[in-house]
Structure 1
Amino acid sequence: MMFVPTDPLSLLVLLMIMLLVWITTQHYLAPCKNFPPGPWGLPIIGSFMYFGSDIHKDMMKLSKTYGDVYSVKMGSRISVVVNGVNAIKECLVKKGNDFADRPYSWIVEQYNPRYEGIADGRFNEKWQRRRQFAHTTLRGFGFGKTSMESKICEEISFLLDEFRDLQDKPIDTGAILNRSVSNVICSITFGKRFNYSDPKFNFIIDTMGKWFEVMGTMYELDFLPFRRPFNRSNIHNYNTLGADLKKFCKQQIDEHREVFDPDNIGDFIDAYLAETMKQDGNKDLTDDQLKHTLVDLFSAGTETTATTLKWGLLLMVLHPEIQDKVFNEIDQVVGENRLPRLDDRKNLPYTEATLLEIQRFGSIAPFSLPHCALKDTSLDGYNIPKGTEIIISLWSIHRETTIWPDPDKFDPMRFYDEKNNALKKSEHFMPFSAGRRVCMGEQLAKHELFLYFSAMINQFKFSLPVGAKKPSTDGVLGLTLVPEPYQVVIRERSA
């Protein structure tokens, strides 16, 4: 006969032990049969003991033990991590609809509780119509087309003028690159560019950078809610920065509405306002949807391209022999009397190869934004229940040693066929993700990266300040992987 204590204290202890046993048992139970294997975790904190500040590297290490598709316990939640090009393509392309949703996120709900916009939107018919409208409208304004070239080159000219004024002294080019690249997307969405000295523009660009940085530090708060009371300052900063971004975009909408002319559609906001006038009672397109879409476009259109260029300049000053080789190729094809054009790309294979290697090496998006299973499905032979959060490790594609020998070495020859003087492409390269949630700005970003990078190297030589410590190439992980701050010295090649 089992002994049951009768005194209150002993009964309380027994109940607590039973509760702990139940929590532990539930924690270790797989959600279904044939669920992906993974490392054991502890109740409440899950598998966080396996992860340090370089979680993208730690998750790739776990794949060597548990396979390309494995599970981890993120606090009290369980997620599936997908590594390697084959498993990622099965998830995002072959079964793209099965995994096209977004999971619950406490972080997202802090500033976007209804999951509005494009990046955070839940996958349904309304979201698909919003994305299709945004994609079609942006294409109409030249998004990703060669017709955008003149706008990009105009902005590059402003950047080069800034560089000329900053010659021969150590500078951090990060802020200038952010402002210049941002102006390209501003010209499409807001119908205007901003002066680099505009205080409101500088404020919002700096705000966006801080927001991305703080967002990265809050990642674990999504899975470890008991830590939130101890991170009130970070949470407050995150919410304040996000509110400032939304306020800026709302101001742009209000300014457009005051002078709106349906017969004169000049930018994305105008097109959106015109479309709202055609809606029936469903009201798919609202000001809140537009506001969050603008935040998506403004932030993604700035951060990813500018960060890739920061990696590019860092790698050029660390490898001056590669910088010289890129310059010599551009100089032979383009010369010094004009800026490179998109038509020059086919004749600049080593320059293109260098850009691809910058994107592989920097891998500025080690993870895509999280996905979620829309229904019970399977992946790599494992069963995946509806609602399971999916973490896509793009880092694993770009740093796999069997595909990229010595992956921590920067080497454009990975993408360059020296014998045939031609560009080599690889299926093991996915900087913009893939499938239903692929980056809408992929083609624009490719055009920007080529035009900016080739123009900067053609016009200027970049070097480390005399006596400066060699900058790190480890990167700092926020929402994106950014280089640690570094300085360069700029000298005009024709001077």
Structure 2
Amino acid sequence: MLSVMTDNLVVFLLTWVVLALVYKWWKRPRHNFPPGPIGVPLLGVLPYLGDKPQETLRQWTKQYGPVMSIKLGWKDVVVINSYEAMSQGYVKQANSFSGRPSTGIFQLVDFLNWGVSFKPYDSDYKCQKTFLLKSFKDYGVGKLEVDKLINEEADIFNQYLEDKEGQLINFKDHFFALTANVVLKFLCGTRYEYKDPTAKALIHALKNE
């Protein structure tokens, strides 16, 4: 009898905790978030996005406006779905919307905390960005010489694709080769044909294979 009462008490307490967590999630403060669909606990709106999430978001925009908030799992996300709102956020208030989200995948990619691609928009990021832009400019990025090299390699690449019409090709490897040729042409004044064994060896080295 005592064991049955204990089991019932455990079930009651667990049910109460689950319901309390669901209620807290459901009635959570919005923290000045724009309106949006509530979704379900743990999953948010993920079950409702369907096969074409862009169409679902477009329909929600008609109901909640061009700026709305949704919950993807436990993550709050603000969706901007109009030119005017994007211009207001990313142009007129660029400094307020230039940060990077601190997500697990970004931390995994940048686990050594190198570079600026996934860094938060702070003084360290601004300092590194300024240094990189100056270094790129010193090496000719943005100048006509570099643009000419890129355009020449793009023309060669387009011709190569036309010659391969109707055949299966590995786009990933060819884009590696295109990028490598631009860098080699700029730094060393040379390039390799896409069929060249040296080019293939270089691609494998870049891919760390």
TM-score normalised by L of structure 1:
0.36
Q: Is the partner of 1:36 in helix, strand or coil?
A: coil
Go from structure 1 to structure 2 and tell me whether the alpha carbon gap of 1:90 and 1:30 turns closer, same or farther (over 3 Å shift). Answer: farther
Paired amino acid for 1:61: Q
Whole-Å separation in 1 of the counterparts to 2:68 and 2:123: 30
Gaps of 5+ in 1: 1-5, 208-243, 249-495
Go from structure 1 to structure 2 and tell me whether the alpha carbon gap of 1:105 and 1:53 turns closer, same or farther (over 3 Å shift). Answer: farther
Residue 199 of structure 1 pairs with residue 196 of structure 2: no
Q: After superposition, where does 1:8-87 map in structure 2 within 5 Å?
A: 8-32=6-30, 34-87=32-85
Q: Is the partner of 2:94 in helix, strand or coil?
A: coil
Gaps of 5+ in 2: none
- Aligned residue in 2 for 1:186: 183
After TM superposition, give the deviation of residue 172 of structure 1 in Å.
4.5
Whole-Å separation in 2 of the counterparts to 1:124 and 1:53: 37
CA RMSD of aligned residues (A): 3.1
Go from structure 1 to structure 2 and tell me whether the alpha carbon gap of 1:137 and 1:77 turns closer, same or farther (over 3 Å shift). Answer: same
Paired amino acid for 1:199: K
Whole-Å separation in 1 of the counterparts to 2:106 and 2:31: 31
Q: After superposition, where does 1:124-203 map in structure 2 within 5 Å?
A: 124-156=122-154, 158-159=156-157, 162-163=160-161, 166=163, 170-172=166-168, 175=171, 178-179=175-176, 181-183=178-180, 186-187=183-184, 193=191, 195-197=193-195, 198-203=199-204
Whole-Å separation in 1 of the counterparts to 2:54 and 2:166: 32
Deviations 1:114-134 (A, max 9, x none): 543222111111111111111
- Aligned residue in 2 for 1:359: none
> Percent of pairs identical after alignment?
21
Structure having the higher helix fraction is: 2
Paired amino acid for 2:54: H
After TM superposition, give the deviation of residue 47 of structure 1 in Å.
0.9
Deviations 1:387-428 (A, max 9, x none): xxxxxxxxxxxxxxxxxxxxxxxxxxxxxxxxxxxxxxxxxx
Q: After superposition, where does 1:366-381 map in structure 2 within 5 Å?
A: none
Point out the structure with max Rg over C-alpha: 2
- Aligned residue in 1 for 2:117: 119
- Aligned residue in 2 for 1:389: none
After TM superposition, give the deviation of residue 186 of structure 1 in Å.
3.0
Deviations 1:5-33 (A, max 9, x none): x9321121121112111221222234445
The answer to which structure, 1 or 2, has the higher relative contact order (CA under 8 A, 6+ apart) is: 1
After TM superposition, give the deviation of residue 140 of structure 1 in Å.
2.4
Deviations 1:259-293 (A, max 9, x none): xxxxxxxxxxxxxxxxxxxxxxxxxxxxxxxxxxx
Go from structure 1 to structure 2 and tell me whether the alpha carbon gap of 1:159 and 1:35 turns closer, same or farther (over 3 Å shift). Answer: closer
Paired amino acid for 2:8: S
The aligned length equals 201
Q: After superposition, where does 1:185-334 map in structure 2 within 5 Å?
A: 186-187=183-184, 193=191, 195-197=193-195, 198-203=199-204, 244=208
TM-score normalised by L of structure 2:
0.78
Whole-Å separation in 2 of the counterparts to 1:110 and 1:83: 29
Go from structure 1 to structure 2 and tell me whether the alpha carbon gap of 1:124 and 1:200 turns closer, same or farther (over 3 Å shift). Answer: farther
